[in-house]
């Protein structure tokens, strides 16, 4: 994997295990640094990607109303504690001049943004801004709901607490009716 120093991660993981008082030579831990280095390469693979690249192919379809892909699961890593936060995202946009993206590309964009050390707010705004830039739609509305392990397994210790973030761009910033319409569909089970 480009730009990922697997050996350095292995050394760092070994040092952490030693620092917490583990025996890094015991059988169960022998391959752990290597496994963790591969895992980090996978979880942070978005750092080697540009989410805009997923919108290099677009289609022309005269669709005037919103397109909403909802309940897209994602996993990310809190940049403060390097523990997971995970949940679902809902991504809506209203195409302009018939410029639409392949539906899977919304989720691919999210995935590439989430697979980095992140903040939930930044995932939400980066996805919205990427779609604004690449599709130039009338509007974008992104909602992310997630549970943060740094608030459940440590610190505050409140399992089940959910954080919701939303970002509106274009017409969704001004037009309450359009925003409420898409919120209704997001909430619909």
Residues engaged in binding ligand GTP (CB under 6 A): 78, 80, 119-121, 148, 150-151, 155-156
Among the listed residues 17, 132, 150, 183, the single contact to Zn ion using CB under 5 A: 150
- Nearest residue to ligand GTP, by Cβ distance, number only: 155
Quickly count: other Cβ atoms within 10 Å of residue 146's Cβ. Answer: 23
Instruction: Name which of 72 and 150 has its Cβ closer to ligand GTP.
Output: 150
Which runs of E-coded beta strand occur in the chain? 58-60, 67-78, 84-94, 99-101, 117-118, 139-148, 163-170
Q: Is 81 marked within a binding site? A: yes
When CB distances are held under 5 to 8 angstroms depending on the partner's kind, the choice from Zn ion, ligand GTP, none that residue 155 binds is: ligand GTP
Q: Is 177 helix (H, G, I), strand (E, B) or coil?
A: helix
- Give the whole-angstrom CA distance, residue 136 versus residue 27: 55
Q: Would you tell me the crossing angle of helices 120-135 and 103-114 to the nearest 10 degrees?
A: 140
29 near Zn ion, judged by CB under 5 A: no
Contacts to Zn ion by CB under 5 A: 78, 80-81, 150
Q: Which residues are annotated as a binding site?
A: 78, 81, 150
């Amino acid at each position: 994997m480009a730009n990922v120093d697997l050996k350095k991660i292995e050394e760092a993981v070994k040092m952490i295990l030693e620092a917490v008082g583990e025996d890094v030579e015991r059988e169960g831990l022998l391959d752990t640094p290597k496994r963790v280095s591969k895992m980090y390469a996978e979880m942070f693979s978005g750092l080697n990607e540009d989410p805009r690249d997923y919108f290099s192919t677009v289609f022309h379809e005269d669709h005037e109303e919103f397109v909403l892909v909802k309940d897209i699961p994602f996993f990310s890593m809190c940049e403060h504690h390097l523990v997971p936060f995970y949940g679902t995202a809902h991504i809506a946009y209203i195409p302009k001049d018939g410029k639409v993206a392949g539906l899977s590309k919304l989720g691919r964009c999210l995935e590439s943004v989430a697979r980095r050390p992140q903040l939930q707010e930044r995932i939400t705004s980066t996805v919205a801004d990427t779609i604004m830039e690449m599709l130039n739609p009338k509007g974008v509305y992104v909602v992310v709901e997630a549970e943060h392990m740094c608030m459940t397994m440590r610190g505050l210790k409140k399992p089940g607490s959910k954080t919701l973030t939303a970002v509106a761009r274009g017409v969704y910033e001004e037009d309450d009716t359009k925003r409420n319409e898409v919120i209704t569909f997001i909430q619909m089970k």
